[in-house]
Each structure stands twice: as C-alpha cells, then as structure tokens.
C-alpha cells in the first residue's frame, strides 16, 4: 500500500523521505516541522512508527488549515473535494479560474486543495498582492475523487490524535521545542526566492535562521535541515556556517525536469545538514528501518538515494 499524500506540492520531500528518515533516531518523543509544507516527513515517520507525536507548522495559513482538515475532518474534506471536482466537466479551465478567484476572496483551504491538485506542477505562486495566481494544468483535471479520498483518509489514519498543526512564525516555536524532540526543517525559499520573487507567500532571512539554529544547539535539540543544493555544476543557495557544527550530507533527488526539457541529463542533489546533538544520538550511523509496510510513493524519474 502506498504512503498517502493528498496534497500535490512542488518541493515536497515525499520522494526523499526514505533517505531522510534514516537519520531520525528511534527515541524521539515528537517530530517537529517548523516548515511543514505538506508534512511529508511527518507522514513518513508515522508510517514507520518512529515517534509518538507530531507538530506540523507552516506560515502559509491556508496550507496549515488544510493540513488540519486532512487530519481531523477527512470525510468532510473528501466530500467537498468530490463535489467541487465534479462541477468542472463543462469547462474545466473556466471552473479552475472561478475557484481561484473564490479562494483569493475567502482563503478557504478546501478550495486550496482543488487548486493544488489542478495547478501546473503543484507549484504555489503568488503575485505582489499576495493573491494565488498559478495557472491550471490544461492536460488533466486533478486527482480523481476516489483517489483523493483514499489519500486524505490514509493521512488521517496515521496522524489523527497524534498531530498538532499551527501557523506560526517559526522563531516563535523555540520556547516550546524540547531536547526530547526531533526537528526537521525544509525552508522552501533558499536558492529560489528573494524579496522580488513572489512564488512563495513569505521568505526567511538567513541570519535569523542561523540564530534560530544556534538557539536549538544551545538547548541540545537534535535537528536536520534540507537547505541548499546543486544541479550539475550549478549550486543553489549558500552553505550554512561552520560555526553551527553541522555535518553536511548530499542526497540525490533525481533528474532535473527543467534540465530534461533543455535536453540535458543533469541530476539534482540536495544537502542534508545534521546537528551535533543528532549525531550523538545516532552514534554517527543511519538507522535501518522499513516504512511500516507502506510502499513509498515516488515521483516520476526521482529515485531516492543518500550519500
């Protein structure tokens, strides 16, 4: 059975999850994701039975509210999606734009699920006014309702009564993170977003982020970070400073779709940083674990490996 993933989202770590969770120790009481996105790592951890509790946080309010609905109101959300999906058949493109306009007026997370299922590459884009402006993929109509329901209910089964979802500035979380937690961070802005780039609803300041990591070090909190990367010889983003005492690994993320379009065969490689506290708990060795009987859902041309 496949690991459930109802929310299509560019940059999701669902295809890299098997490699990443090998560096998560078995004795973590709680998995904390300050930049949860679709919660792919928490879902993978839950399927492997790694932790007792999960704290998913994301600054994108409609996305965090959508995660809440997936976990706590799966049937109601699936019913809404099915009714909305079935209304698109007369003119699916016009229907998409109508839903997009309604979402920008109301910020209803249920509408957001449909938009993410239909939009180009599951890629979230906003204009300078903060309005969602991604176009529909005209080749398809989004996940079929029966498949969406299975994925939604599958996530609810894994995380219901175990997960807390919030919409906070990640820096506000520091006082409630404990040394018994395991923090996984995937800031989606490094190397692709700047003040003039409106592809995301917000961005983070690297200096503030480094201060946050230093505070985690001070509290002896184990953590790991997906941060920068490279494609071929081109590097994206800046390395984290050596003063943090992190170990940097590289994970092969598969062939670059953009490079493929240009006739190149370039492999994307992402960095994974491990904190000193994490390395001490792992004794320097990755864990060997199965995904709890679930089969990992892979993206096209994205074979997981870790270095």
Upper half-sphere CA count for residue 252 (Cβ side, 13 Å): 12
Q: What angle do CA 39, 289, 180 make, to 5 degrees?
A: 60
Question: What is the C-alpha to C-alpha distance for residues 85 and 105, in angstroms, rounded to an integer?
Answer: 19
The superfamily (CATH) of domain 1-307 is Vaccinia Virus protein VP39 (3.40.50.150)
> Does residue 221 contact residue 272 with C-beta atoms inside 8 Å?
no
Question: What is the C-alpha to C-alpha distance for residues 193 and 191, in angstroms, rounded to an integer?
Answer: 6
Domain boundaries, the chain: 1-307
pLDDT at 254: 63
> Does residue 237 contact residue 195 with C-beta atoms inside 8 Å?
no
Which residues of the chain are under the pLDDT cut of 50?
Answer: 191-201, 257-262, 292-307
pLDDT at 265: 62
pLDDT at 198: 40
Q: What predicted TM-score, i.e. pTM, was given to this entire model? A: 0.84
Beta bridge partners of 126: 132
pLDDT at 11: 65
What percent of the chain lies above the pLDDT cut of 90? 61
pLDDT at 194: 42
Closest Cα to residue 134, out of 200, 65, 86?
A: 200
Question: What is the C-alpha to C-alpha distance for residues 112 and 60, in angstroms, rounded to an integer?
Answer: 11
Is the sign of the CA dihedral 240, 11, 307, 46 positive or negative? Answer: positive
Query: 3-class DSSP state for residue 270?
Result: strand
Class of residue 67 by CB neighbours under 10 A (exposed 0-12, middle 13-18, buried 19+): buried
Class of residue 278 by CB neighbours under 10 A (exposed 0-12, middle 13-18, buried 19+): buried
Question: What is the C-alpha to C-alpha distance for residues 125 and 128, in angstroms, rounded to an integer?
Answer: 10
Question: What is the C-alpha to C-alpha distance for residues 266 and 45, in angstroms, rounded to an integer?
Answer: 30
Question: What is the C-alpha to C-alpha distance for residues 14 and 4, in angstroms, rounded to an integer?
Answer: 10
> Does residue 33 contact residue 168 with C-beta atoms inside 8 Å?
no
């Amino acid at each position: 059975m496949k690991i459930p993933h109802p929310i299509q989202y560019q940059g999701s770590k669902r295809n890299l999850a098997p490699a990443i969770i090998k560096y998560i120790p078995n004795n973590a009481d709680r998995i904390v994701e300050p930049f949860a996105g679709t919660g792919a790592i928490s879902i993978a951890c839950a399927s492997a039975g790694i932790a007792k509790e999960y704290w998913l946080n994301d600054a994108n309010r409609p996305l965090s509210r959508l995660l809440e609905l997936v976990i706590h109101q799966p049937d109601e959300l699936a019913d809404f999606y099915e009714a909305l999906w079935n209304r698109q058949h007369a003119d699916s493109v016009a229907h998409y734009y109508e839903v997009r306009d309604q979402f920008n007026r109301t910020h209803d997370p249920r509408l957001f699920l449909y938009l993410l299922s239909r939009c180009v590459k599951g890629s979230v884009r906003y204009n300078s006014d903060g309005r969602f402006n991604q176009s529909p993929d005209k080749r398809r109509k989004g996940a079929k309702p029966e498949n969406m329901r299975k994925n939604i209910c599958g996530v609810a089964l894994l995380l219901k009564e175990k997960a807390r979802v919030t919409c906070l500035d990640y820096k506000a979380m520091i006082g409630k993170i404990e040394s018994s937690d395991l923090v996984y961070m995937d800031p989606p802005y490094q190397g692709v977003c700047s003040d003039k780039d409106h592809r995301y609803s917000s961005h983070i300041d690297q200096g503030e982020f480094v201060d946050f990591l230093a505070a985690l070090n001070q509290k002896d909190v184990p953590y790991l970070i997906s941060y920068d990367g490279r494609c071929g010889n081109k590097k994206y983003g800046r390395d984290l400073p050596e003063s943090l005492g992190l170990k940097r690994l590289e994970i092969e993320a598969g062939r670059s779709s953009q490079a493929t379009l240009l006739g190149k065969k370039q492999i994307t490689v992402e960095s994974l940083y491990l904190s000193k506290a994490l390395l001490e708990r792992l004794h320097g060795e990755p864990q060997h674990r199965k995904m709890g009987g679930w089969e990992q859902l892979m993206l096209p041309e994205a074979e997981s490996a870790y270095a």
